[in-house]
Amino acid sequence: MRFTVSQSSLAKALSIVSKGIATHSTIPVLGGILMKASGGTLEMQASDLDTSIRHKIAANVEEEGETVISGRMLTSVVKNLSDSAVTFDGGEGTIHLTCDKSSFHLNCLNAADFPSFPEIAMERSVELPCSILSEMVDKVYKVTSRDTSRPILAGVLLNVEENLVRLVATDSYRLVVCDTNVETSSLDGTFEMIIPGTVFHDVLSLPSESPTIIIGSTANQVIFVFGNTTYVSRRIEGTFPDYKKLIPSTCLTSVKVKVADLAGALRRVSSIATSNSSVRLDVDADSGQMLLSSTSPDQGDAREQLSADVEGQSNSIGMNYRYVGDCVGALNQESEVTLELQEKMRPGVFKSYSKINYLYLLMPVRM
């Protein structure tokens, strides 16, 4: 085969399909990228058997054909080329790659050994705006569990009903719920599925010029289609925890603070907590203050007071400062956040309302 593509479009395409390359497989072909040149198009595929990615770019195809090239090697070569036309010639065992004054001979694998791309027959699908969905996924995917014994908690629950889009994630220590109102494609009823958190984040992190993304489902797959890219992965099957029952409907104490003030105080107070991951929050309803404190048996203690808008009674709670940090880090630093507290040893709930509504429930720790 023989074809020519631009270096910039090839580099961008490789950054997309390389997400599907198997990194630790003993099957050599899974470490490669399948390249098919035909009809003015270069189609590139990668698969690790769980995830398959296909991307198409324009190419000047002089001779059609297909081959498999090491994804790691090809990416390394292309990103260091000058921004010029890149020509591929060959494919039978080796392929000759030229760009400007650079020339490479790369070993190839048999395209017939590459796994076929999954057949796509979406049972249901929904089209959503990429920008707002990407922002929502950034806020929730870190809360998914890394515990392989409970795969359902490694997923993000996507629920779309009318024009309300909601994402939910939990690792059993904390729960995050994000929702927003957007214009969606025509939808009959509710679209709901559990998507692996890392997959969801990877897809929304890929470069794309498409303003929307189609998310579809089959019996055991989740499918993303955006621009010239199709991304297929295994979906998580099972029943997501009934998160609505976990969210308290009332509270004893409500305290509102500026996100930037809370983030700064938390960062300073927790700097002493080298052997202790907890921070204590004491809310004084009389003075309208919230005191953050941390104690380390080896290093000493730290305290910082914040002005706050307090409603209800004085209260206190101990929390994992890293988890609180994830919460405030997901919020607009110029905004305000409300912390609602219940009885002793009951979860605390952070709430923030804007274009994306954000709720973060966090289990307490003993102080």
Query: Does a structural domain hold residue 309?
Result: yes
Query: Does a structural domain hold residue 119?
Result: no
Contacts of 301 (CB under 8 A, 6+ apart): 272, 293, 294, 295
Query: Does a structural domain hold residue 355?
Result: yes
pLDDT-derived band at 123 (thresholds 50, 70, 90) equals: confident
Same domain, residue pair 175 and 271: no
Q: CATH code at 352?
A: 3.10.150.10
Same domain, residue pair 104 and 155: no
Residue 358 structural domain: 248-362
What is the average per-residue pLDDT within 216-228? 93
d(CA 300, CA 116): 60
What is the average per-residue pLDDT within 325-338? 95
What is the average per-residue pLDDT within 116-121? 89
Long-range contacts of 284-292 (CB under 8 A, 24+ apart): 284/310, 284/314, 285/253, 285/310, 285/311, 285/312, 285/313, 285/314, 285/315, 286/314, 290/255, 290/257, 292/265, 292/266
Asked if residue 18 has pLDDT above 80, the reply is yes
Same domain, residue pair 193 and 238: yes
d(CA 49, CA 118): 10
Q: Are 192 and 215 in contact (CB under 8 A)?
A: no
Please say which residue of 113, 147, 175 terminates a domain: 113
Same domain, residue pair 214 and 271: no
What is the average per-residue pLDDT within 108-122? 92
* Residue-wise pLDDT tens digits, 286-309: 999 999 999 888 888 999 999 999
What is the average per-residue pLDDT within 107-114? 95
Among residues of the chain, what percentage have pLDDT more than 70? 99
pLDDT-derived band at 352 (thresholds 50, 70, 90) equals: very high
Please say which residue of 188, 220, 243 terminates a domain: 243
d(CA 273, CA 279): 8
Query: Does a structural domain hold residue 99?
Result: yes
Please say which residue of 54, 86, 113 terminates a domain: 113
Task: Give the count of domains, the chain.
Answer: 3
* Residue-wise pLDDT tens digits, 24-76: 888 999 999 999 999 999 999 999 999 999 999 999 999 999 999 999 999 99
Task: Give SS3 for 122.
Answer: coil
Same domain, residue pair 268 and 287: yes
pLDDT, residue 299, reads 81
pLDDT, residue 344, reads 87
What is the average per-residue pLDDT within 200-227? 92
d(CA 278, CA 366): 8
Asked if residue 186 has pLDDT above 60, the reply is no
pLDDT, residue 121, reads 85
Contacts of 246 (CB under 8 A, 6+ apart): 175, 347, 361
When the pLDDT of each residue in the chain is averaged and rounded to a whole number, the result is: 93
pLDDT, residue 185, reads 64
Q: Are 221 and 279 in contact (CB under 8 A)?
A: no
Same domain, residue pair 70 and 142: no
* Residue-wise pLDDT tens digits, 130-155: 999 999 999 999 999 988 788 999 99
Query: Does a structural domain hold residue 32?
Result: yes
pLDDT, residue 55, reads 97
d(CA 328, CA 340): 15
Same domain, residue pair 235 and 254: no
Name the residue with higher pLDDT: 190 or 307.
307
Same domain, residue pair 296 and 206: no
pLDDT, residue 274, reads 74
Measuring CA to CA, how many Å separate 233 from each of 23, 99, 119, 220, 317? 16, 34, 12, 9, 41
Q: Are 347 and 362 in contact (CB under 8 A)?
A: yes
Sign of CA pseudo-dihedral 136, 139, 141, 147: negative
Asked if residue 88 has pLDDT above 90, the reply is yes
> Which parts of 234-276 fold into alpha helices (H)?
259-270
